[in-house]
A and B are shown apart, each in its own frame.
Chain A
Amino acid sequence: MFDLSSGMAALTRMGKDVRIALGPVADEIDFCANRLLASLKEPERAFMRPFISRRTLAAGEILFEPGDDVTVTYFPCHGAMVSLRITCSDGKDVEAATIGREGAVGGIVSAGKKPAYARAIVQISGPAYSIPTTKIEDAKCRSPAVHDLFCRYADALLAQVMQSVACSALHAVEQRCARWLLATHDRVGQSTIPLTQEALADMLGVRRTTISAVAKSLHERGAIRYVRGRVDIINRKRLLQAACECYESVEAHFARILPEVDETT
């Protein structure tokens, strides 16, 4: 438990007062920009605050490669999105999980400084907070609530990966594409998703031209429109009808085990 929690909270309040007296502070941490951080209570926030840095993630940026020691956990904010990818020896790769403002990437399942198994690549640019994994481990040791939160998040992440296994083996590219767009729509929080057909093809492990054919079919259903470099979600309900059950299953599990993080509850 946070034995110093009340003292820390008081210090933070004092700190805030002092800062106000000195003028506006540019680097105020907005815990609400990431749903996982938002669900932390004040004593835990106070512990984390000194170790949090803010940075912008650029599309295409690699956060870690397989085998890298993961020393930093990233919390994507607003519309930023990171993809965990598995690359095979022939260069073909496919996405195993998508992480946006509902979660975090880096040392989540391994619980700290361990070699990464997948490649983490920024899919959609945006801001993120980063915290050294060792500090997250410290916070988990100090607070059972933080420990429990990250455990449940690791479970949700694993559920997403397990569902992706089923989805990739059993479902049509059009269904998988619709599933991916729905999940991305939730994370980006706007109906225009900045994403090339090449990037979407990479994610689903198919050719760009196959994505074009599938996008055409989703367009005919009145679900989406593809313009060069972006997808517009025109009708989410129709997109849901085109998707397999994988999207809703993962969302339902997330809402059940992380109700305080889920945006729909």
Chain B
Amino acid sequence: MPRFHFHIRREAAGTLDRDEVGMVLPDIEAAQTEALESAKELIIERIRADRRIDSFFEVTDSEGNVVFLMPFWQALRF
């Protein structure tokens, strides 16, 4: 099973928080679920702390190739 790394790019700050450890998951769908569920949790944390939610997940494989991007706001429903 592949290892995915869920880096967090903070748009306004222009920084990338690297997820060095990563996580072994069966496939990209599982990685998308992980990103979405974690985005829900991180949005809650940031709202409570009066922080911006403009970040997105930059998910890479173990070679560093970007597999997909997922903005945190994707976890929100309007």
Binary contact track A160-201/B, C-beta < 8 Å → 1, others 0? 000000000000111000000000000000000000011000
| Cross-chain contact of B21 among A173, A210, A226 (Cβ < 8 A) | A226
Given contacts A206-B41, A212-B6, contact A172 B20 (CB under 8 A): no
Which residues in chain A, 201-253, are within 8 Å of chain B measured between CB atoms?
A: 206-210, 212-213, 216-217, 226-228
From B5, which residue of chain A is reached at the shortest CB distance? A212
CA A207 – CA B21 in complex, angstroms? 14
Residues of A in contact (CB 8 Å), total: 17
Which residues in chain B, 1-37, are within 8 Å of chain A measured between CB atoms?
A: 6, 8, 17-21, 23, 34-35, 37
Given contacts A172-B48, A173-B45, A213-B8, contact A207 B20 (CB under 8 A): no
Is the beta-carbon distance between A209 and B34 smaller than 8 angstroms? yes
B49 at the interface (CB under 8 A from A): yes
Q: Chain B residues near A216 (CB, 8 Å)?
A: 8, 17-19
From B57, which residue of chain A is reached at the shortest CB distance? A209
How many A-B pairs fall under 8 Å by CB?
Answer: 49
From B35, which residue of chain A is reached at the shortest CB distance? A209
| Cross-chain contact of A228 among B8, B21, B45 (Cβ < 8 A) | B21
Q: Chain A residues near B19 (CB, 8 Å)?
A: 209, 212-213, 216
Is the beta-carbon distance between A209 and B45 smaller than 8 angstroms? no
Is the beta-carbon distance between B6 and A209 smaller than 8 angstroms? yes
Is the beta-carbon distance between B35 and A213 smaller than 8 angstroms? no
B42 at the interface (CB under 8 A from A): yes
Is the beta-carbon distance between A209 and B20 smaller than 8 angstroms? no
Is the beta-carbon distance between B21 and A197 smaller than 8 angstroms? yes
Q: Which of B18, B20, B21, B45 has the most CB of A within 10 A?
A: B21
Is the beta-carbon distance between B48 and A213 smaller than 8 angstroms? no
| Cross-chain contact of A209 among B18, B23, B49 (Cβ < 8 A) | B23
Q: Chain B residues near A226 (CB, 8 Å)?
A: 20-21
Given A172-B45, A174-B45, A206-B38, 11 new contacts (CB under 8 A) = A172-B48, A173-B41, A198-B23, A206-B41, A207-B37, A209-B37, A209-B57, A210-B45, A213-B38, A226-B20, A227-B20
20 contacts between A and B (CB under 8 A): A172-B48, A172-B49, A197-B21, A197-B23, A206-B38, A206-B41, A207-B37, A208-B23, A208-B34, A209-B34, A209-B37, A209-B57, A210-B38, A210-B41, A213-B42, A216-B19, A217-B17, A226-B21, A227-B21, A228-B20
